[in-house]
Amino acid sequence: MSDNNYDIIVVGSGPAGSSAAASAAASGRRVLLLERKPVPGVPVRCGEGIGHQGLTLSLPPRPEWIKSTVTRARMVSPSGIAVEVGNVDKSYILDRERMDADLVKTAVEAGAEFRASSPVIWAEETPSKRYKVIVKVHGDNIDTYNNAINNIEFEASCLILADGVESRLARCFGWDTALRLEDIETAAFARVEAEGIENDCCTFYTGSAVAPGGYLWVFPRGVGAANVGLGVIGSRCRSGLPKELLLDFIGRKYPGGRVTDLHCGGVPVGRWVKPLVRGGVMLVGDAARQVNAINGAGIAYSLYAGRLAGAAAAAAFSGESFCGKALLGYQRAWAKNFGKQQERSFALKEFVMSADDAFLDKIADSLSKEPPGAVSYLRVFMRTFSSRPLLLFKAFKLFR
């Protein structure tokens, strides 16, 4: 096999891509992991929150990844009514930069080859039924390719696309990756250092004045530090609005606080892409829209889907022979487990998007009269959807 030919190529080294590369390489296949950025996971377009169960389903938690352990939550309605949620399953706020770097290292230790600063600008199926990707060579990685400032081609029998919400490569193979405005949030993210940040509590703010169609979050990252961000649903957004709203909130809530790493990006909040497999190509992570549609959380989904996809890719080989139909096991496993959960979250999101500030205040006022120990996420959802039996059932199933 020549230097530029692999069994499996993975595009994107976020949690989904790195997990897929590690899983496939651990089975002895020749794997190439490509990342367009110089450093994986930077900037972090994520609140960095994950539940203990969601993390441990795919990985043992490493202490060095955990910035805070969360045991409480607070929800604040549009008019400022605070609901304390006491029955919160243990969750973590992660150091995604550290975790993403370690996941890439794990993939390399498993046998994958990793190339940073390698943006894939095109992908196609070859006449021999393999898949070719074209990497643009420039800047930081010129030396890697012997100072040849030219595009470089790689081929593989299987291609795993984990190139994020803005994935363009899926279109090369017939997927329609366009999102409805109602299925994407424009988000603004920042890290804030200020007094008064509670190290064990996540706080969520709702309302049209705070985050139209979405919510604002404060996730602690250690004593006196937090990830603060918000998402505005696409149909209610205009250029610059998320950043304006975020800076306004930080200025009011944390006057004099130190703001760093301010940036913006898109977060999918729709259904997962069907099919997940076309021939020898698979989609994983945000590229597959594998997120919780209620809150945009996707780390647990990405880790799980990446591991499934990598294992399916490796199992599709018998010696040097490759069978693309074997990849369909990945889609079946996803649909049976997290896929069902995501479909439920999408149905709930559609209802929540239609709720106005008065409705959210009414729910918050009702729940605020209960002791914190009696309020859980499930109880919040049950109260919210009590007038819709089908949605109430979906909310219940979401928490099973």
- At 188-202, the pLDDT tens digits run 999 999 998 999 999
Report the relative pairing of strands 113-115 and 184-193 from DSSP bridges. unpaired
The one-letter code for the residue type at 323 is C
Q: Give the pLDDT score at 146.
A: 41
Give how many domains the chain has, as a whole number. 1
In a domain? residue 30: yes
Percent of the chain with pLDDT over 90: 70
In a domain? residue 376: no
pLDDT at 69 over 50: yes
In a domain? residue 73: no
pLDDT (tens digit per residue) in 73-122:
999 999 999 998 877 788 999 999 999 999 999 999 999 999 999 999 99
Give whole-number Cα distances, 109 to 22, 264, 300, in Å: 8, 33, 22
| Residue 283, Cβ density class (10 Å: 0-12 exposed, 13-18 middle, ≥19 buried) | buried
In a domain? residue 278: yes
In a domain? residue 294: yes
Which backbone phi and psi does 130 adopt, to 5 degrees?
A: -110, 180
Residues 6 or more apart whose CB falls under 8 angstroms from that of 335 comprise none
Q: Give the pLDDT score at 21.
A: 98
In a domain? residue 382: no
363-369 — which CB contacts under 8 Å span 24+ positions? 363/77, 364/75, 364/76, 364/77, 364/81, 364/82, 364/83, 365/77, 365/81, 367/83, 368/81, 368/82, 368/83
| Residue 119, Cβ density class (10 Å: 0-12 exposed, 13-18 middle, ≥19 buried) | middle
In a domain? residue 69: no
Which residues constitute the domain of residue 321? 5-44+98-177+271-347
Q: How far apart are CA 284 and CA 160, in angstroms?
A: 7
Q: How far apart are CA 3 and CA 6, in angstroms?
A: 8
CATH number at residue 335: 3.50.50.60
Report the relative pairing of strands 49-51 and 66-70 from DSSP bridges. unpaired
The one-letter code for the residue type at 3 is D
Q: How far apart are CA 198 and CA 70, in angstroms?
A: 10
